[in-house]
Structure 1
């Protein structure tokens, strides 16, 4: 005889932990408190470790609450929640770094956005395919129409905002003129809005998980969806956790910058480190989806994050450049142009068949490793 369940899907007679006792509830609050106490100061060595622990806890909490919200709203809306939330706060982080970084901050926006593209399109995609195909004989299956359209959007956005400035002649150096920057900002924001409309309204089925036979997968879960109240709480705590993630990353960024300077590493390393920290929640969420045989969800997170990173960051930076002093360098150098071109070609060969094996995961991970290595040793 099965036990009776209540409306929330909890078995009668079982005891569930009180929400306030869950670490995912109070860790974001503690992280924000640490952020408030340390804001405007450079933490000494011992306190950097405490900030790092709070940062890791906020990341894990963000992943948990993003999955709660995603479970409630379903795909592909769930994938947009974390991607947009992280990107909006990432924009704030870039603006804060540029406002206080002086002339050396001229490339922060470019370095962070390009790092986000490489992390999402190679790091997250490669790790997700690795998790999905690691078992013997397993093939990762996804919707080629949706993933292909998302990849095309990433490629166009990256080319328009990061490649063209290197070759335009209206301004000396790899920079846009004012009119060119306005055009790039409007085009990026418009394309992002069009992609979101297609993903969530016009062709929503292209972004849903599929089975090995190509049919739409059953996305229902054995666990009941969270209640509306629980969903709103998770959404609020998700935003708190993301503020803590980016704020604490900003707090430790002077330590990172001084460490990079002391080690004699190039300036773009700062953008890589910051992008890695900010994108960690999306990486963990994508890996969990891949482990649950929802590779399409992983690709939605990866490519959606790249699109949001460019489509929202460039317009925001263009607007902020009105009061930010110093140049705004967006054009990539020769090495990064080659890596971006390789990423576009390799990604197209991965998504067009709608099926991927362990080989594709290895190719993306090696390309990501090349990006990280060349960032530290150009």
Structure 2
């Protein structure tokens, strides 16, 4: 005879564990029914502030739920599959957010470019800076798999150059706007290179993206913190369920971001920065926890994987939207941004030239991130 005495407790536990999902679903239902007019009529600054805080907070809480289930899948499936699932989930949210703003917001041809640049600056400088600084402070030096980091950079550099720098210098469509042939080439090249990288990462060179065995901390891979590990199917289903309200709420956030940028006369780049922060905050927390636990390879996989996926997946997605809708898309960065991107990639190449990291590397990345924040308002 089976004992079902603990079934109500298990159901109650799941309800508490997934409370962010229920809040997200309730918010989605309200804002898509009775609350739909609220978002489109936000002339009152107070109403706008409340709605923005509500939608942003709900989406951020849901994003943490996505990361939680991705972390559980990482435990079940091992690396690099766990980090790959997390990266693809987060970048999917980014693609949906950018696409929603492109389709529903006002004419802002540089929004997709600004968001992608923000993601690169946040992960290559902000995320790596904080994690390397925290990890170096606690562990003095940290090790990772050099072949994995080099593989990421080998694909990030040409894709960033072709997608975000080259369009600024082409004559066929001035102002950083790629021509139609260039759009088709960039979309195909990005997808092909990223697909080849995924085949390498998940296949014959999977070991490039795993923490070196001799540097593992005792119990490091068995310490799951406060995660409650269930079946693979459970976490896969709830990861999808947490992403669904984010996708549905992205259109509401698009209206709010567009209205806020217009009403406040804020720099256009600030809109991209807000989208990037919303998408990357939970992932950044995962990278920080991994660095503090002396699992730097997971941090490298998250940060460099996000940078690569942003270029490899977001560029084709926004190019397809541009081709289908006829909307103008500006991809080429401004000269000052090109300099900052070049510095960021150059520092990554230098810092990931050996198998050990320390405090100074994190400090350098943070200085570049602060320079990016200054440039937003300069």
Range that drifts further, 286-295 or 156-165: 286-295
Aligned residue among 4, 21, 26 for 2:19? 26
The residue number in structure 1 matching 2:172 is 170
How far apart are 1:32 and its partner, in Å? 2.4
Q: CA deviation at 1:144?
A: 1.2
1:61-210 correspondence runs (5 A): 61-103=65-107, 105-135=108-138, 138-210=140-212
Between the aligned partners of 1:359 and 1:16, the Cα distance in structure 2 is 52
Q: Secondary structure at the match of 1:322?
A: helix
The 3 A distance-change label for structure 1 pair 223 and 92 is: closer
Cα distance, 1:191 vs structure 2: 0.7
The CA deviation string for residues 285-325 of structure 1, in whole angstroms up to 9 with x for no partner, is: 11121122111111101111111111111212222223323
Question: What is the CA–CA distance in structure 1 between the aligned matches of 2:217 and 2:179, rounded to whole Å?
Answer: 46
Deviations 1:6-58 (A, max 9, x none): xxxxxxxx999625434332321320231232134444343444334423421
1:317 aligns with 2:310: no
After TM superposition, the structure 1 = structure 2 runs for residues 36-47 of structure 1, keeping only pairs within 5 Å, are 36-39=29-32, 40-43=36-39, 44=47, 45-47=49-51
> Does structure 1 retain, via aligned residues, the 8 Å contact 2:104–2:255?
no
Per the normalisation by structure 1, the TM-score is: 0.87
Change (3 A) 1:216 1:288: closer
**Residues 239-265 of structure 1: CA distance to partner in whole angstroms, max 9, x if unpaired?**
222333454454344334433334432
The question of whether the paired residues in 1 share the 8 Å contact of 2:177 and 2:330 is answered with yes
Distance 1:185 1:270 in 2: 24
Gap change, CA 1:324 and 1:71, over 3 Å in 2: same
User: In structure 1, what is the equivalent of residue 234 of structure 2?
Assistant: 233
Distance of 1:143 and 1:190 partners within structure 2: 25
Query: How far apart, in 2, do the equivalents of 1:148 and 1:16 lie?
Result: 50
Separation in structure 1 between the aligned mates of residue 102 and residue 283 of structure 2, nearest angstrom: 24
Equivalent pairs counted in the alignment come to 360
Whole-angstrom CA distance in 2 between matches of 1:65 and 1:221: 17
RMSD: 2.6
CA distance 1:269–1:48, shift in 2 (3 Å) = closer
* Structure 2 contact 114–273 (Cα < 8 Å) conserved: yes
Q: Where do 5+ consecutive residues of structure 2 fail to align? A: 1-5, 40-46
Q: How has the CA–CA distance of structure 1 residues 173 and 190 changed in structure 2, closer, same or farther, with 3 Å as cutoff? A: same
3-state SS, counterpart of residue 174 of structure 1: coil
* Within-5 A mapping of 1:224-263: 230-245=231-246, 247-248=248-249, 250-263=251-264
**For 2:51 and 2:322, how far apart are their aligned partners in 1?**
34
Counterpart in the other structure of 1:54: 58
| In 1, Cα distance between equivalents of 2:171 and 2:271 | 28
Larger displacement relative to structure 2 (354-363 or 124-133): 124-133
For the pair 1:302 / 2:295, whether they are aligned, the reply is no
Give me the whole-angstrom Cα distance separating, in 2, the residues matched to 1:33 and 1:143: 43
Counterparts of 2:12 and 2:96 in 1: how far apart (Å)? 30
Checking the alignment, whether the CA contact within 8 Å between 2:80 and 2:206 is kept in structure 1 is: yes
CA–CA distance in 2 between the matches of 1:309 and 1:215? Answer: 29
User: What stretches of structure 1 of length at least 5 have no aligned partner?
Assistant: 1-13
